[in-house]
Amino acid sequence: MRIGVDTGGTFTDCVVFDGAAVRVIKVFTNPSDPATASLEGTRRLAGRKIAEPLTLVHGTTAGTNTVLERRGARVALLTTVGFEDLIEIGRQNRPRLYDFNVERDPPLVPRGLRWGVNERTAADGSILQRPTAAEIKRLLALVKRSGAEAVAICFLFAFANPANERAVARAVRRLGLPVSISHEILPEFREYERLSTVVLNAYLVPRVGRYLDRLRQEARRSFRAPQNAAGAKDTRGAAQVFVMQSSGGITTAERAAREPVRTILSGPAGGVVSARWLADQLGIRRAISFDMGGTSTDVCLLDGPPQMTRETTLGGLPVAVPVLDVHSVGAGGGSLARFDAGGALQVGPESAGAVPGPACYARGGTQPTVTDAHLVLGRLDPEHFLGGEFRLDERAARESVDAFLRAQRRRRKSGERKEPSAVDLARGIVAVANANMEKALRVISVERGHDPRDFSLISFGGAGGLHACDLAHALRLAQVVVPPNPGTFSALGVLLSDIVKDVSQSVLLPVPAGGGRKQSQPRKRFLASLEERFARLERQARAELRRDKLPAESASAIRSLDVRYVGQSYELTVAFTARFQEEFHRAHERAYGYADSGRAMEVINLRLRLLIRTLKPPVRRSKGIGRGDLRNATIRQKTVWFENRSHWTPVYDRARLAPGNRFRGPAVVVEYSSTTVVPPDCVCRVDEYLNLVLTQHAR
């Protein structure tokens, strides 16, 4: 039995797959002890009797929250002498340009816990100075006295030759503290980014490690193995825990506890995986996943496999391990509206959160939010929010907007502009929220050289369906797909994820000249040498999988190269084939608008991914597609605002829609965890998998 558990700020979503069917549950998150909700949800889904071993796959915010709340370990840092302050200087820039009161986040390791080591490696990997035994002894004494709970080691050019790091690490391990070493966590160049990454890892190890250990033990205790025929208990532990990594693959809880920096985007990663899975099911290559919740929206571009980045920051700190290229903006259902000094309407990033929540939750909120705006426009059905468990207060929403308008009117000189009505303002709030999200979608698509018209929007999260069509229209996206149960779609992604092991190696190798069809001798030799390096890398990676007690023999390998023109600093990742050069030129043209086939290129990193596929839930495809009778699904008709006028609009119950149903907007589709709005110029059809597929209809 496999259970996917996704911990969010408000709810912990659980999805179970018991070999036959998928079931879903939501329980409230307990922020002080996230493990309890995970176990409670699991217990409620799995029931008392477990007939087979349990696999719990977990998307966690433990790492993210530890960093954002600054509740990690007391870390000691050992680094090359003369560079003890690098962690404070960073790249010597400031995060905002025109702000006298700009602040930088304080470093994770304070000055008194940073020590320089007399050692040095040169750019070519030659060792200029080795740390002496006396020096190492002195350092051990300092670390021991400091009361540090974890140690980070990062030396200059350790990616080119890790000998000095290894020597010091071996000694430090004797102290019994967890040690994070730069060449192990990230054997790549750019010292500050590597340093930041390895320090983050050390900072997370004790806390995330404890959390995962507890989850693992509790799971084993709670879900005992079934007795086998002979009546003896299976002693190997029936419950196995996996953790979602930021890269979109899962790893064992034990490894995640040692390399927690790889889980900092564990939360949003699930949705990306399920979006890719859905797109594959539908034969869509190019898609954008769009996950809009209460406070933020996560978007990710999917052109084939999900895109990765190594330039993420978390709480102002660079994280250079590969993470899914998820872009987040502070726009969600709870985002608050306000006017700035120049009279422009602003929405977010401040959010009403769960407390006090939007005005329409009637829990003390008075400032209008995006959710309130939708309610004023008639797009939410107050009776069917959360399946009717929770009634929205339409009057409170209306009053928040009116009060806002009155306050604004007092501030403005009369006659300067036309007087907006409550509906105008509500439309404005939705439009500004859309503009913020449109910007996020542009960052990941057009700004990286993709034409949005080739992409489908996969929309989910509680608020996604309310905005998806507007955004698709603004960016001229091909279509919108809303899967069933959009509210728990991320947890489904966690359950769907494969076991992944990513390894890399900086090589900095010039590519011999003379590409094209004819394979020259030096080129053949070059390809053969890359082949050999990959083989070595793969052997090491498989050995590590075996150490994690995973079936390494069933893992498939994916090889890629980071390539750039000689002299550039940013690489593009291309698949490793004999024709990788041509592919690089094409990728460069696509990304930056030019390519230069005459320019020499170099291979910077080899990247290898080992992948063990997990069992996927079966996809239920409806056999017969009828025309369906919409009358069965119609709840009622009501007034809803679109663009600049109101429409008499049907409200449909999604549970009663059938494959083959097809209708024109305007329409509103309600279900337990979300609402989907179909504007007047859109057509919605229900496909054979029960997805809603929305397209613009030809005028």
Partner 1 sequence: MPVDPTELEIFKNLFHSVAEEMGAALRRSAFSPNIKERRDYSCAVFDGQGRAVAMGDHMPVHLGSMPASVAAAMEALDLGPGDIAMLNDPFAGGTHLPDVTMVAPVFVHRGVHRGVHRGVSGAKQPLFYVANRAHHADIGGAQPASMGLSEEIYQEGLRIPPVRLARRGRIERDVLAMILANVRTPQEREGDLTAQVAACRLGERRLTELAGKYGVRKTGFYLDALQQYSARLMREALQRIPNGVYRAEDFLDDDGYSDVPLRLRVAITIRGQRARVDFTGSAPACRGSMNAVVAITRSAVFYVFRCLLDDDVPACAGLMNPIEVVAPKGSIVNAQPPVAVAGGNVETSQRIVDVLLRALAQALPHEIPAASSGTMNNLSFGGITPRTGQPFAYYETIAGGMGARPSSDGLSGVHTHMTNSLNTPIEALESACPVRVRRYSLRHGSGGAGRFKGGDGIVREIEFLTETRVSILSDRRRFAPYGLAGGKPGKMGKNELIPPNGGKKALPSKAVFSAPRGSILRIETPGGGGWGK
Contacts to partner 1 by CB under 8 A? 82-86, 88-89, 91-94, 96-104, 122-123, 156-157, 159, 189-192, 339-346, 417-418, 427-428, 431-432, 435-436, 438-439, 442-443, 446-447, 476, 508, 565, 567-570, 588, 591-594, 596, 599
- Least Å distance between CB 315 and partner 1? 17
- Min CB(485)–partner 1 separation in Å: 32
**What's the closest the beta carbon of residue 567 comes to partner 1, in angstroms?**
4
Q: Print burial letters for 322-359: b (CB count within 10 Å at least 16), e (below 16).
A: bbbbbbbbebbbbbbbeeeeeeebebbebbbbbeebbb
User: Between 410 and 417, whose beta carbon lies closer to partner 1?
Assistant: 417
- Choose among 506, 628, 464: nearest CA to 182: 506
Give which of 9, 413, 13, 58 is closest to 218, Cα–Cα.
58
To partner 1, the closest distance from the beta carbon of 670 in angstroms equals 27
Residue among 40 and 402 whose Cβ is closer to partner 1: 402
Task: Mark out the alpha helices in 566-670 (DSSP H runs).
Answer: 580-592
d(CA 577, CA 579): 5
- Long-range CB contacts for residues 226-233, cutoff 8 Å, separation at least 24: 226/50, 226/51, 226/52, 226/53
- Shortest distance, position 180 Cβ to partner 1, whole Å: 19
Q: Shortest gap between Cβ of 565 and partner 1 (angstroms)?
A: 7
The helix/strand/coil state of 126 is coil
Asked whether the beta carbons of 680 and 468 are under 8 A apart, the reply is no
Nearer to partner 1, 100 or 648 (CB): 100
**Shortest Å distance, C-beta 503 to partner 1:** 20
Residue whose C-alpha is closest to residue 404's, from 338, 354, 345: 338
Q: Which is nearer to partner 1, 231 or 342 (CB)?
A: 342
> 78 near 166, Cβ under 8 Å?
no
Which one, 121 or 252, has the nearer CB to partner 1? 121
Cβ proximity to partner 1, 89 vs 535, nearer residue: 89
What is each CA distance from 351 to 50, 55, 224, 441, 606, in whole angstroms?
42, 36, 42, 20, 42
| Least distance in angstroms from the C-beta of 449 to partner 1 | 8
Least distance from partner 1 to the Cβ atom of residue 346, Å:
7
Nearer to partner 1, 309 or 614 (CB): 309
Cβ proximity to partner 1, 44 vs 599, nearer residue? 599
Match 């698509």 to its residue by tokens: 445
In the complex, minimum distance from the CB of residue 99 to partner 1, in angstroms, rounded to a whole number: 5
Distance CA 31, CA 54 (A): 25
DSSP state at residue 303: E
> Sign of torsion, CA 183 188 190 192?
negative
Which residue, 442 or 685, is less far from partner 1 as judged by CB?
442
Nearer to partner 1, 346 or 634 (CB): 346
Distance CA(337)–CA(401), nearest Å, equals 9
Rounded to a whole number of angstroms, the minimum distance from the CB of residue 162 to partner 1 is: 14
Residue 192 token pair: 């500050």
Between 65 and 573, name the residue whose CB sits nearer to partner 1.
Answer: 573
Pull the structure tokens for residue 689: 């998998």
Residue whose C-alpha is closest to residue 430's, from 354, 510, 384, 369: 369
Distance CA 546, CA 551 (A): 7
Q: What is the DSSP letter of 484?
A: S
